[in-house]
Structure 1
Amino acid sequence: MDLGIQGKTALVFGADSGIGWNTARILLAEGATVVVSDLDQSQLDNSADQLEAPYGELHAFAADVTSASSLADLHTRVREAVGEIDILVQSSGVTGAQGLFHEIDEDGWTSTLDVDLMGPVRITREFIGDLRNGGWGRIVYLVSEDASQPYDDELPYCAAKAGVLSFAKGLSRSYANEGLLVNTVSPAFIHTPMTDAMMKRRAEQLGTTFDEAITSFLDEERPYMELKRRGEPEEVANVIAFLCSDLASFVNGANYRVDSGSVATI
């Protein structure tokens, strides 16, 4: 499919694995120049080595989304390598502090919010100038089903994702007349290293196999996921890539759920 982004430049955060990596793969295949970023340079380099860039360029630069100075350094490296960006995909994040409300201390809250809410804010503040300059731009934030259907054992994560959803909606009103469109994607229980770790812990706690932990989680915790499986990263990345494209030229301020029906409300 021709997404109309050949020659565009994309910056993808959280791209050392999972959804971010698959998004970078699709954008490269569509002819975009792609810069991938994540926290650890060596892991990022290993992941970038597995990406193919048949048309566009590929660059890999590490950065810490909790540090404004780290993001400023990243911006300098991006400018030197590829110039200004046209597309920003923010998919980095952490599960953060888990447990019931009375079990999570202030550090658990602030550390989770610092990555999952303030990370997108810092990234946007740093790169918004690039995205406003060309008369055409796209921002896509990876949110979560938890933004609209919170769970009581991961409230810091839920609150952060709800904050990003609101931030994106408000931001979408600011620059659309300049050609910059802002949208979000909300997946549920995707086959990523994050959910692998969750299911390993669950299997240990329940004394079951990894696959049995997934089955019981779907039955007990995510009963509205009608397809009864974890989603695959590329199933989310396909939607992100669409929102980055010319095909989504009339989509702004929207939240696309890729969740097998997990969110029970309309």
Structure 2
Amino acid sequence: MDLRIQGRKALVTGADSGIGFATTQQLLAEGVSVVMTDIDQPTLDAAAAKMDAKEGQLHAFAADITSTTAVHELKRRVADAIGEIDILVQAAGIHGPDGLFHDISEEGWQHTLDVNLMGHVRVLQAFLSDLRNGGWGRLVFVSSEDAVQPYDDELPYCATKAALLSVARGLSRTYAHEGLLVNTVSPAFIATPMTDEMMDKLAEQRSISRDDAIQSFLREERPFMELGRRGEPDEVAAVITFLCSDRASFVNGANYRVDSGAVATI
């Protein structure tokens, strides 16, 4: 299917791995010019080197989204490289501290909020004027199944992902008349470096392999994931790319679950 976005310009945060990386690949394949960003330039450069892009189609600029100064510098570099963006995909995020509420410090809460919520706010504040210009824009936040089905041992992460759903819904009401459509995608247990780290920790605790840790996690913690496996980043990126496209011209304020049935309610 032709998504009719060839020639559009996008910024993807959290793009050096996982869902952000896969989304960058798919946008490039659709003829979009993309700036990929993440916190570490060497890691970002290595990721960019794996992309199949035409000359001038891809740029990689590191930025720390917990710093307003760094985000403003990113805006300058993006403007110099490709001009105003039409598409913003916010996939950056951290898992934050594990543990029950009484085990998590204020600092742990604050850092998770600063990356997963305020980092998105800073980036959007910097690039909103781009998205509002021209009568056509797309904004997609990567949330999580945890936003609507919180787990007691990862509440900072759950809270920030729920906040993104609220922010996105509010934004969708504010800017739709200008042509800016805002949506979220909520994956569950995707094969990314974040979940690799989680499974490696579980494997070490139980003296088992990562594969065995994944299967035990699915049985014990995610019983409604009916496909019985972790999702692939490409499977989430396909939904994100659709929402970034002209084909999604009547989709606004929606939350798309890409979760194998992980959320038990309707």
Provide TM-score, normalisation by structure 2. 0.99
Runs of 4+ off more than 3 Å: none
Q: Does 1:104 align with 2:104?
A: yes
The separation in 2 between residues aligned to 1:232 and 1:59, in whole angstroms, is: 24
1:62 maps to 2:93:
no
| Letter in structure 1 aligned against 2:108 | G
Once residues 25 and 58 of structure 1 are traced to their aligned partners in structure 2, the CA distance between those partners, rounded to angstroms, is 10
Separation (CA, whole Å) in 1 of partners of 2:38 and 2:215: 31
Distance of 1:164 and 1:144 partners within structure 2: 9
2: distance between equivalents of 1:82 and 1:63? 17
In structure 1, C-alpha distance between the alignment counterparts of 2:178 and 2:56, rounded to whole Å = 25
AA aligned to 2:117 is L
CA offset digits 1:205-253 (Å, max 9, x no partner): 1111111100100000000000000000000000000000000000000
The separation in 1 between residues aligned to 2:91 and 2:74, in whole angstroms, is: 16
Task: Give the distance between the partners of 2:157 and 2:216, measured in 1 at CA.
Answer: 22
Preserved contact between residue 29 and residue 54 of structure 1 (Cα < 8 Å): no
Secondary structure of 1:172's aligned partner: helix
Number of the residue aligned with 2:157? 157
Question: 1:75 touches 1:126 (CA, 8 Å); kept in 2?
Answer: yes
Residue 199 of structure 2: aligned partner: 199
The residue matched to 1:134 in structure 2 has which SS?
Answer: helix
Other-structure match for 1:233: 233
- SS of the residue corresponding to residue 189 of structure 1 reads coil
The alpha-carbon deviation at position 54 of structure 1 amounts to 4.0
Give the match for residue 115 of structure 1: 115
- Structure-2 separation of matches of 1:28 and 1:257: 24
- Asked if structure 2 preserves the Cα contact closer than 8 Å seen for 1:32 and 1:56, the reply is no
| Counterpart code for 1:73 | E
Quote how far apart the aligned CAs of 1:88 are: 0.1
> In the TM superposition, what are the counterparts of 1:6-17 in structure 2 within 5 Å?
6-17=6-17
Distance 2:181 2:88 in 1: 11
CA distance in 2, matches of 1:106, 1:18: 28
Find the counterpart in structure 2 of residue 78 from structure 1: 78
What residue identity is the alignment partner of 1:215? Q
How far apart are 1:26 and its partner, in Å? 0.6
Does the Cα contact within 8 Å between 1:139 and 1:244 map onto a contact in 2?
Answer: yes
Whole-Å Cα distance in 2 between the matches of residues 56 and 186 of structure 1? 31
Secondary structure at 2:84 match in 1: coil
CA distance in 1 between partners of 2:111 and 2:255 (Å): 25
Contact 1:29 1:55 (C-alpha < 8 Å) held by counterparts? no
CA distance in 2 between partners of 1:43 and 1:174 (Å): 36
Residue by residue, what CA displacement relative to the aligned partner does 1:90-140 show, whole Å, maximum 9, x if unpaired? Answer: 000000011000000100100111001111111111100000011100000
The answer for the alignment partner of 1:257 in structure 2 is 257
Aligned counterparts of 1:157 and 1:119: Cα–Cα separation in 2 = 14
Unaligned runs of 5+ in 2: none
Give 1:76 shift: 0.3
